[in-house]
Amino acid sequence: MNEDVELAMSEMEDNLNKQFNHLIDELLLIRVGRANPKVVEQVKVDYYGSKAPLIQTSNIIVEDARTLVVSPWDPSTLKAIRTGIEAANLGVSVSDDGKIIRLNFPMLTEERRRDASKDAKKLLEETKIAMRNSRRDCLDVFKELKKNGEISEDEYNSLEKDVQKKLDGYTERADTACDKKIAEIMEV
């Protein structure tokens, strides 16, 4: 197989994988009324004069289905961490006892569940568009090779089918992940 073909296929596979993993990470950030540490991991807090992700300043533990406990490594930073969490406007109630911070996740309303489902579908569609763009970029390389006589029409058609098959596999995985997230969101 042509080196350019292998490189283009490899790049497309890498891009599809990155796009799928990005979708999964973004879906984890959608709040579903249950305590999920992913929701707060990237919250920025003032930590010794610089902004740091919450995950780098504290332990984050799921206490129960609706409560996260944030235990600062340095108790003197509790107030700054609480301020950072409140500034992130996560829609959770924040309380502290001087040693730890508790985040209580409220039940989602039906309207909020529908909005979260729409957000998940929007993320899915954006991911599919990015995946199709990866396919297009790969096929453009193949068209150029065909035009230059480096691959035949039959090879191009075969490669086009392989690319589509790979895209279909990733699209199916993305659909499944999104459907699972929507089912989780709509669960009462």
Listed in order, the ranges of the chain carrying CATH 1.10.132.20 are: 3-29+109-186
- Identify the pLDDT of residue 169: 97
Is the dihedral angle over the CA atoms 171, 175, 176, 180 positive or is it negative? Answer: positive
Query: Side chain identity at 48, as an amino acid letter?
Result: Y
Mind listing the pLDDT tens digit for each residue in 69-111? 999 998 888 888 888 888 887 778 889 888 899 988 888 788 8
122-161 pLDDT, tens per residue?
999 999 999 999 999 999 999 999 999 899 999 999 999 9
Nearest alpha carbon to residue 100 among 75, 128, 131: 75
Average of per-residue pLDDT across 38-43: 80
| Spatial CA neighbour of 43 closest among 90, 96, 104 | 90
Angle between helices 110-147 and 153-186 (to 10 degrees): 170
**Which fold would CATH assign to domain 38-104?**
Gyrase A; domain 2 (3.30.1360)
CA distance 39 to 62: 12
CATH 3.30.1360.40 positions along the chain are 38-104
When mean pLDDT is compared across 7-16, 35-44, 166-175, the lowest value belongs to 35-44
pLDDT band (50, 70, 90) for residue 188: low
The pLDDT value given to residue 1: 60
CATH 3.30.300.180 fits 3-29+109-186, yes or no: no
Q: According to the model, what pLDDT value does residue 129 have?
A: 97
pTM: 0.75
How does the average pLDDT of the chain come out, rounded?
89
Residue 65 has pLDDT above 70, yes or no: yes
